Amino acid sequence: MLSFLFAVVIVFGITNASAQLTVQNVDLGDGALARYRAPAIGPVSHVAFLAIHRTADFRNHQSTTELANRGFGTLGIRTRFGNSEAAVNWELIALDVRNGIRFLKNVKGHTHVILIGHSGGGPTTSYFQALAENGPSYCKGPNKITECPFTGAEFTAADRANGIVFTDGHPGNTINRLRSLNASVVNEDQPFGPARNKTLDPFSEANGFNPAGDSVFSDHFVDKYSEAQCRRMDGLIHEALKTRGEIESGKRDPADDAFVIYRTSARLADFSTGVHRGTLEPRKLLKNDGSIDDTQVVNTVRVPNPGNKLDDEGNAGIQNLKITSFLSASAIRCKHSLDDIDWCSSNNSTVCAVREISVPILVMTMQGHYFIRDGEQFYEESASGDKDFVVVEGAIHNLDNCPACAAFHGTGPYTNVPLNLWNYVRDWTKARF
């Protein structure tokens, strides 16, 4: 624990990335690496942005160049876990965010830091901020599947970020894992066996699956499937806690902590545009021409992917985890995977975190993906007195244009996603800081 408490920031290289930006590689300690960018010519804003993900390397994340080109300092981070999901000990990721903020404020002199929560950066940044604002009581308690190891001495008020921008941040790796479980599996030892519940087979045409296009599942099927996903998750949690207890009591070898899950590519929203279709209320849509339309419910233009059937039945549907990585970053309690989740049973939960965060929040979701309703929920449940929510027209999850969306739905064309998105972030930031 002391190695985390006394992590040292070390700068080991400065190069000119282009005529416009300077680039500086940074060692944040404990295996975490980062890359700082800033304008090479002209003033650098007192505001900096920090982009981080659980396992993806964000040192060259789109935000790090787009926002640096707009006058800000940026820091993209590769966490101590590298790209290994099995290596994740979720709660410790807060230390990597903290060290990044300290570098931006103490070394580079920025007075304000805004966190970029893209994809898995959503739960990462919101978990950190909820912890930094509320102390370890946020990440501890009898309801938590896993608890943080912190005492409170690890974070100061100066470590807190000044705002969060969610760019298609997801509700939690826990939720993604839950919603991707194939609910027809009733025996984890025989995930492909005949004992599977055929009435819950998401790839059965009798249940609404379309192998060549957009699947149409009945509300009844979606509800039963979502409930069964929670039952399967509960069984996995029970087995993992049992194994952890046996390891801690000496009944099992500590090396016997592998936790493999099969058939994890069966998210209904991947096959059906009718599942988690869009917002529940009229919301802002950032149009391709840069204008805002806030008069209508915003529905997705994502393209269904029935090819996930092959992933679910093959190696892509196998998750090779460890007990710690599963319990801390892939497990959450629920009764219905879409509508009845015990959000605060895990620390990897964006919805739980935004309920405890006071700084300004901007939630941006991509119309060509399936996190639109999740983003709307972040906005609805956020405790911040300064919050905004907007859907980016024709955008896919990697924050770019979606020609396939336009072709599939007969809409678009979509051509200005990065320009519109980062200009909106720039203007939102300048209006506040």
CA distance 377 to 47: 27
Q: Give the residue carrying structure tokens 């609805």.
A: 380
pLDDT at 11: 40
Q: For the domain with range 2-175+348-432, which CATH number is right: 3.40.50.2020, 3.40.50.12280, 2.40.37.10, 3.40.50.1820? A: 3.40.50.1820
CA distance 244 to 114: 37
**pLDDT block averages, 10 residues each, the chain of length 433:** 35 45 97 97 96 98 97 98 96 98 98 98 98 98 98 97 98 98 96 93 98 98 98 98 96 94 98 97 98 98 96 94 98 98 98 98 98 98 98 98 97 97 98 97
Longest alpha-carbon distance in the chain: 67
CA distance 155 to 137: 13
Cite the beta strand spans of 79-211 per DSSP E.
Answer: 112-119, 163-169
pLDDT at 193: 87
Domain ranges of the chain: 2-175+348-432, 179-276+306-343
pLDDT at 6: 30
Long-range pairs for 139-142: beta carbons < 8 A, 24 or more residues apart = 139/91, 139/347
CA distance 331 to 230: 10
CA distances 296 to 167, 272, 285, 328, Å, are: 21, 21, 8, 38
pTM over the 0.75 mark = yes
In 3D space, the residue among 397, 386, 394, 385 whose CA is nearest the CA of residue 420 turns out to be: 394
Is 128:115 a contact under the CB 8 Å cutoff? yes
- Region for residue 73 given its phi and psi (left: phi exceeds 0; alpha: psi -120 to 50; beta: otherwise): beta
